[in-house]
Amino acid sequence: DTAVSQTPKYLVTQMGNDKSIKCEQNLGHDTMYWYKQDSKKFLKIMFSYNNKELIINETVPNRFSPKSPDKAHLNLHINSLELGDSAVYFCASSPGTRKRETQYFGPGTRLLVL
């Protein structure tokens, strides 16, 4: 069983479209994250939810909207896609919000905006 799964794995779409990426974790964790890995390979935090509540919201365009229907799922919706949104998006989870918890990452979603 995959601990943190993401769908789709690959997403190719046109500029201006709206798309969603789904993330699910079966680890029983309370906290989930979205990261963006840009063309320079740096992983940067975008959002974090704890028990369905937003706890981290970095400087991200408001075209990006996370949604957490329950603590096992954290989906990422992107409106009006732009070329610069092309990246690999990783979902992750951790047990809670205590210090030094280990994060578990999903396999990533490779988004290409044409």
Nearest of 30, 37, 73, 76 to residue 55 by alpha carbon: 30
- Is the CB of 85 or the CB of 90 nearer to other proteins? 90
Burial label for 84, CB within 10 Å (0-12, 13-18, 19+), is exposed
Contact residue for other proteins among 78, 92, 111, 113 (CB under 8 A): 92
Q: Is 72 in the site for other proteins (CB under 8 A)?
A: no
Cα(66)–Cα(36) distance, integer angstroms: 13
Q: Please check whether residue 14 is in contact with residue 114, taking contact to mean a CB–CB distance below 8 angstroms.
A: yes
Tell me the CA distances in angstroms from 95 to 30, 47, 58, 68, 71, one per residue in order.
5, 16, 21, 16, 11
Contact residue for other proteins among 13, 22, 45, 60 (CB under 8 A): 45
Q: Is 1 in the site for other proteins (CB under 8 A)?
A: no
> Which range binds other proteins by CB under 8 A, 11-19, 60-68, 77-85, 106-114?
106-114
Contact residue for other proteins among 19, 90, 111, 113 (CB under 8 A): 90
The contact set with other proteins (CB under 8 A) reads 4, 9, 31, 33, 40-45, 48, 55-56, 90, 92, 94, 97, 99-108
